[in-house]
Amino acid sequence: MSAPRVPVGADQAAHVGGGTAARIAALLQLTAARTLRPVPLALAALLAALPLLFALMFRSTGGDESALASFLLARYEGLVVTLLLPLTALLTAAGAVSAEREDGTVLYLLTTTTSRTLLAVVRWVFATVVTSCVVTVSVVGTGLIAGGGREPTGVMLAFVVGSMVGASVYSALFLAMAVWLRRALLMGLLYVLLWEGVVSNILPVVRYLSARQVLLGVTHGLVHEAERGAETFASAPPGGVSLAWAVGVTLAALGVTIVRLRRLPLARAH
Amino acid sequence: MSQPLHEETSGLAPLGRVPLDAASPSDVPLALNHVSRWFGDVVAVNDISATISSGITGLLGPNGAGKTTLLQVAAGLLPTSGGSVRVFGRDPFGDVRTYTNVALVPEAEAVPDVLTPRQFVSARAALLGMHQPKEAAQRALARVQLDEVQDRALGGFSKGMKQRAKLAAALVHNPRLVLLDEPFNGLDPRQRAQMMRLLESEAAAGTAVVFSSHILEEVEGVASRVLVMVAGRLAASGDHRELRRLMTDRPHTVHVRSSDDRVLAAALLPSASVIGMSLEQARLTLRVTDHAGLARVLPVAARAHGISLYEVRPADESLEHVFAYLVQR
């Protein structure tokens, strides 16, 4: 019944020196299996479709080109930046890790020779890419529908880039939450709704601690001069500073994720 | 079946003083030296020393004894709060190289439900850095006899099949030390026998197998050496036959209810099997040296005096009582 054994003695490096590409593919497969489930996908699709519906309404009511920029700014800020982007990032970055910690299957990842750095980076890249794709589809779709097949204001492209930066920051933050906190999905939701939705709007001083404001800051640096005075960007830090913050926060969040994965507490037995 | 073990196979070792194996440290699969692990003010593992070599070792103890914590410490998933752990001579905690030689099969039934066994085991093989993960997965699934259903989603599997998939995921890289947490939990007799054969097969190939259980029969059915844990401590360790003898030879307490307890007590007094008795609250409590002796004399005495027996109930047969007895020795 037993298979031929690897010689015992020195480390079994001879048969376990496999490639990083295979490890990454396996990690992506396991992550996708836990993340791309019907409920999260339906939720993301619903949120992504909302701005598209508004764009259809805008277009069907005449679609005044002079109002296009302000329409897009309002919809992108109100629906994409506030809901779609953070919630998709939350589901894709924290969903898998939280579920694995909850049911114990995280052990199948931790008891391998794959480095914790690779585990963290692959999960972050997965969440960033999936979130960016979902958000880009929604942003571009909304812009093109509202603009009747073209979007001359530059708001759409600015938000595509800003959202990608935001997806990266949010994914790193939520991944860190998932390895540090037991109720990461709930805590992430509270962060999005309370901290970013309420506190950072009331207290401009905390805008640097809000991923939303940082991504708006990056977007602000990319929009045309005419849109820079928009209310959407009232609390946003300057573009360059925002980008530096985005990079710094992402790296810091990844760092604490890797540190935590090296000593990830397990559910206590009985 | 399993390989002969080292120094303690002929009897029970003194508690907490298990001498280390004479082999060089790097050849010893698992050495625990005064290992303790606590969570806040709860002591889960308390000063345990033991050396595990090839063959099958059963980690026996009631729920909450600290078995899972000890296995997680041994697998390098938890740091010790005191003492040291060495897996093939290395501290396993925080060192991913540990898993080149070690596998842990957790008690939790959960597996990635949407994946097939082939995908699951193959992913594990890739994460373990194997050069040909698909081929390795194929071999591991054949070993646990899941190769015929390797393309069905794990979500539809029975508990026994999931256990085998977990085992295949653990064995895919031929580890030299396999730690299994309650591998027989929830298995039916046929699946249990299958699992035992698998563990024996691994041990026969030179692997050190350690598994936890709270059921003595499971442990003595397959383990050649037993470590008994109670309340975080190592209560006893040694050969399972010696452990069984200790458990069955100890004095037992038996409660009896009959139509005339007083007369029955008088009739049982001359029996050598009965070493003490008390009569209170309409219940006769007997202290006996062995159940078999009582089983012979009790019906004879009852029939001779025309007494009807309503209830004969051992009072201290729970595993906790047995363990408590071992601890008090």
In this predicted model, what pLDDT tens digit does every residue of A170-205 receive, in sequence order?
Answer: 999 999 999 999 889 999 999 998 888 888 777 777
Under an 8 A CB cutoff, do B127 and A23 touch? Answer: yes
pLDDT band of residue A18 (cuts 50, 70, 90) is low
Q: Which residues of A touch B (CB under 8 A)?
A: 1-3, 5-6, 8, 11-13, 15-18, 22-23, 25-27, 29-30, 33-34, 37, 103-105, 107-116, 262-264, 266, 268-270
**Length of chain A in terms of residues written:** 270
Q: Which residue has the higher pLDDT, B328 or A103?
A: A103
Say if residue B84's pLDDT is above 70: yes
A201 close to A235: Cβ distance less than 8 angstroms = yes
pLDDT of B9 reads 31
Q: Pick the more confident residue, A94 or B291.
A: A94
Query: Which residues from chain B sit within 8 angstroms of residue A17, using beta carbons?
Result: 129, 131
Mean pLDDT across chain A, nearest whole number? 87
Helix (H) / strand (E) containing A180: helix A155-180
Asked if residue B290 has pLDDT above 80, the reply is: no
Q: Hunting for tokens 């938000």 — which residue is that?
A: A159
The yes-or-no verdict on residue B18 having pLDDT over 50 is: no
Contact A27 B198 (CB under 8 A): no
* Closest CA–CA distance from residue A119 to any residue of chain B (Å): 10
Alpha helices in A36-154 (DSSP H): 38-60, 68-75, 85-89, 95-103, 107-110, 116-146
Separation CA A145–CA A139 (nearest Å): 10
More confident residue, A18 or A260: A260
Instruction: At A90, list the tokens.
Output: 């939350």
pLDDT at B244: 65
Read off the pTM.
0.79
Q: Which of A164-178, A241-255, B267-281, B296-310 has the lowest mean pLDDT?
A: B267-281
DSSP state of B207: -
Would the CB atoms of B173 and A15 count as touching at under 8 Å?
A: yes
Asked if A5 and B77 come within 8 Å (Cβ–Cβ), the reply is: no
Q: Inspect the interface and report whether the beta carbons of A11 and B97 lie closer than 8 Å.
A: yes
Once rounded to an integer, what is the mean pLDDT over residues A115-129? 96
| Collapsed DSSP state (helix, strand, coil) of residue A67 | helix
pLDDT tens figures, B106-140: 988 888 888 999 999 999 999 999 999 999 999 99
CB contact under 8 A, B206 and A15: no
A117 pLDDT more than 50: yes
Mean of the pLDDT values across residues B5-21? 36
Contact B72, B10 (CB under 8 A): no
Helices (H) and strands (E) in chain B, counts: 10, 13
Q: Which residues of B18-33 are buried (b: 16+ CB within 10 A; e: fewer)?
A: bebbeeeeeebbbbbb
Closest CA of chain A from B235, distance in Å: 19
Q: What is the pLDDT of residue B282?
A: 75
> A18, B131: Cβ pair inside 8 Å?
yes
Q: How far apart are CA A170 and CA A179, in angstroms?
A: 14
pLDDT value at A111 more than 60: yes
Q: Encode burial over A58-74: b for 16+ CB neighbours within 10 A, e otherwise.
A: bbeeebeeeebbbbbbb
Please give the average per-residue pLDDT across B62-70, as a whole number: 91
For residue B27, pLDDT over 70 is answered with yes
* Cβ distance of B115 and A16 shorter than 8 Å: no
Nearest C-alpha neighbor of B45 from the set B100, B7, B83, B2:
B83
Backbone angles phi, psi at A11, to 5 degrees: -55, 150
Residue B282 region, left (φ>0) first, then alpha (ψ -120 to 50), else beta? left
Q: Name, in order, each residue with C-beta under 8 angstroms of A187's C-beta and a sequence gap of 6 or more.
A: A177, A181
Gap between the Cα atoms of B184 and A41, Å rounded: 37
Distance CA A30, CA B111 (A): 11
- Do A1 and B197 make contact, defined as CB atoms within 8 angstroms? yes
Residues of B in contact with A113 (CB under 8 A): 96-97, 99-100, 127-129
Burial of B117 (0-12, 13-18, 19+ CB in 10 A): buried
DSSP B103: E
Is-contact A212 A191, C-beta < 8 A?
no
State whether A266 and B111 contact (CB < 8 Å): no
C-alpha distances in angstroms, A180 versus A107, A148, A258? 16, 46, 11
Mutate to test the interface with A, among B127, B143, B166 (most CBs of A within 10 A): B127
Joined tokens for residue B57: 């070792």
Q: Which residues in chain A are closer than 8 Å to B204, comparing Cβ atoms?
A: 2
B63 neighbourhood in chain A, CB within 8 Å: 270
Please give the C-alpha separations between residue B209 and each of A136, B2, B181, B273, in angstroms, as whole numbers. Answer: 51, 9, 11, 40
Q: What are phi and psi for residue A115, nearest 5 degrees? A: -70, 150
How big is the A-B interface in CB pairs under 8 Å? 138
Q: Which two tokens stand for residue A263?
A: 């000593």
Q: Which of A184-193, A202-211, B274-283 has the lowest mean pLDDT?
A: A202-211
Cα dist from B150 to B51, B103, B125, B193, whole Å? 37, 21, 15, 21
pLDDT given at position A270: 40
Residue A15 has pLDDT above 60, yes or no: no
- Tokens 């396991």 locate to A30
Rounded mean pLDDT, B287-312: 88
